[in-house]
Amino acid sequence: MLLLAWLLLSCALVFGFTHLRLASELRRRSAELEQHADAAAHQFDRSISFLYGVPATLADDPEVIACLAHSDQVQNRSEGKSNVGSRWSGGSKALLDLNHHLATVCRELGIDIVWVVTADGVCIATSNFNRPESFLGINYADRAYFKSAMDGHRGRQYAVGRTTNIPGFFFSAPIEEHGTRLGAVVAKIDVTRLSDWFKRFDCFITDESGVVILTSDPSLEHHALVGASVFKGDPKELERKYKRTTFATLDINRVDARLGSYASTTFPGNSSPCMLAHRFRADDGYTIYTFTKVPEADHQAAASIGLWALVFTAGAAILILVSGFQNYLHHLQHAMAASVAASRSKSEFLATMSHEIRTPMNGIIGLARLVSETHLTEEQASYVTSLRTSADNLLRILNDILDFSKIEAGKVEFEQVPFALKARLQATLQAFQVKAVESGVALNLNVAASVPDLLLGDPGRLSQVLNNLVGNALKFTQKGSVTLACQALAKTSAQVRLEFRVTDTGIGISPKELSRIFEQFTQADSSTTRLYGGTGLGLAISRRLTELMGGELTVESEPGVGSTFSFSLPFELAEVGALASHPPAASVFTAHRELRILIVDDLPINQLVALKTIARTGKHHIACAGNGIEAVEKWREEGFDLIFMDVQMPVMDGLQATRTIRSHETPGESRVHICAMTANAMKEDKAICEEAGMDSYIPKPILAEDVYAVIHRVTGETERSGSGQVG
């Protein structure tokens, strides 16, 4: 009887345990799947928003409008593609220039093809004008995206390319002049180009007809959901859109008892059940599905029998082990939840502290700058200089802490933009020239003749590392020199690896301390902070940044002789002309026309700093508002060319105020330029401002040159590049 009782008890325990374990695993996977669905939908929305913006921006390009408005109509529209294409490819210089302009846009934005069509649907300019498969002369009047554009709307369509036979997303925007629709701009990105971000998730997307158009699993391509409308479609339309009329089916509504009430399916050729989560896009009928295979459901029965035999044999010892294992799982889940909560709290704390510190810092730095520009006695000027130096040091410490936090969290992103290396190195040393003269230290720049000047990379992060190394070298050097040198280690037709060396004749570092100077919050000596200042984060950040960019920061030093910090980085070579021309940097400029400008900030001191900075650029009409509601009312009453908008304000914040203004603007008319001027300095804050409808972004404490760059942009002058622009 005891053996029978133990048999029944062990069966109940084992099978109950395996069921609970599977249920717990399903709950966890379901939660992860829902998060992945949100992330995939969000990423898809961001990609679509960006791709929508390409034709919309080009549709407002004066060069595009002028070419379309003044180009001759295509004669004899019944002639073959080769003749019509030849006509446009050998057309006016303006059209030839437009072809080159579209090709440049594609390269810079990562779009596959962009083309311009007339009101009749004929392509007159395209980024692939110089290729055998050129779109020139092809008529796209039957495409849905063209019809949407000619109805005055932005268009989008998934289809297989008529010329390339490559599936992709097509986006269009109408080109209008004085109320007349002249044609449309169309942009295409191949589906394969969008597959990179799918690698992060197991997912697929179906269009409004229920056809799988984008997937991380190639075996699911062009399957159609059971009961989808595509099976009732016109074969001619299906052939035109998908280049096929038959589709394999995919049943996502099957109920799998192994997964209980969770949404599930089984993919063709695979017996393991898959859990599903989806996000439906009401605006276009697309649905994003994320899935995960659950092989545990296949092996549950076998695992239960094997475990039951082990429990029945081992008896009470196994019962204790099972109990301990359950307890371990329970604590593990709590530990994971606590870890996630701690990470979230840390990010929220850093963002909050950044905003709270930057807000008063904006007033301190701004007023110090304004006071320094007034007539001061020598003693007063000395005090103001010390004040600005202290404020800059505090801001640098804040930026170091934020940078280090981003590096720890793995959230550092790098740009890949063209830049002039020598000008960047000269600007780095120029920033320290005054301090070097005061210290009696010579600053030298040595760039080898073999070093190319035009590169592709992240000039901001490169400057951040060099500024840190040069600043440290100058700080610890009382006499002699600090030299920044650059030479090429290896070079091909497309890439180059450069070595950067910062050498000083300063106090040097002892061999004992060399091994720990790259540790965070560490300096070579405990007295260093008292003598020279600093957080001990600079070198740690510099080493991590160089590692993330493909290099390694090393140091050689001898006490009393000096130190040499060196690192090498790979760069791609930029094409000649890739670097846009910009006006020379200047402390003050005068705008060539007066603007109506509104400053929105809930703090009077920030209003004052912004007003004084803006007033130096010309005789503008400048007004102020203390919150979003006041800003909207003033905009309705007066109208403005430019609004500097704070984000966090009482009553109504800047994001909601921007959305309200954008919703009341008249389509087709010139819209007000809204620049975020905010103490929210995290990278994700910039994206939030862009999504709300803001055109540019300036972090606090505001710099005069950032304000000038925005005014340059609004007045139509050649704008200066900078981190302040959104997009």
pLDDT band per the 50, 70, 90 thresholds, residue 388: low
Sign for the pseudo-dihedral over CA of 412, 417, 423, 425: positive
Three-state SS across 251-271? Answer: CCCCCCHHHCCCCEECCCCCC
pTM score, two decimals?
0.41
Distances (CA, A) of 616 to 370, 589, 611, 675, 720: 11, 8, 9, 18, 18
Residue carrying structure tokens 């809204």:
674
- Tell me the domains of the chain and their CATH numbers: 1-26+202-314 (3.30.450.20), 60-184 (3.30.450.20), 417-573 (3.30.565.10), 596-715 (3.40.50.2300)
What pLDDT, on a 0 to 100 scale, did the predictor assign at position 398? 67
Peptide bond into 273 cis (omega under 30): no
Sign of the CA dihedral running 151, 152, 153, 159: positive
Q: How confident is the model at residue 582 (pLDDT cuts 50, 70, 90)?
A: very low
Identify how many contiguous H helices and E strands the chain contains and give both numbers. Answer: 20, 24
Residue 144 above 90 pLDDT? no
Mean pLDDT computed over 627-644: 93
What is the C-alpha separation between 381 and 46, in angstroms, rounded? Answer: 49
pLDDT in tens, 423-474: 889 988 887 888 888 889 999 999 999 999 999 998 888 988 998 899 889 9
**Residues whose CB falls within 8 Å of the CB of residue 90, separated by 6 or more in sequence, listed in order:** none
Neighbours of 421 (CB within 10 A): 21
- The per-residue pLDDT for 167 is 86
Kindly report, residue by residue over 606-615, the tens digit of the pLDDT: 888 888 888 8
Q: Give every strand in the sheet of 287-293, ordered side by side.
A: 212-215, 203-206, 287-293, 274-280, 264-265
Per-residue pLDDT tens digits for 335-370: 777 666 665 666 556 656 665 676 676 667 777 777
Which residue in the block uniquely carries the two structure tokens 């100077």?
A: 517
Percent of the chain with pLDDT strictly greater than 90: 23
Cα–Cα distance between 610 and 151 in angstroms, integer? 43
Tokens of 140: 């796209």
Give the mean pLDDT of the chain.
79
The pLDDT of residue 342:
62
Lowest mean pLDDT among 12-16, 159-163, 315-319: 315-319
| pLDDT tens, position by position, 394-426 | 666 666 666 666 666 666 778 888 999 998 899
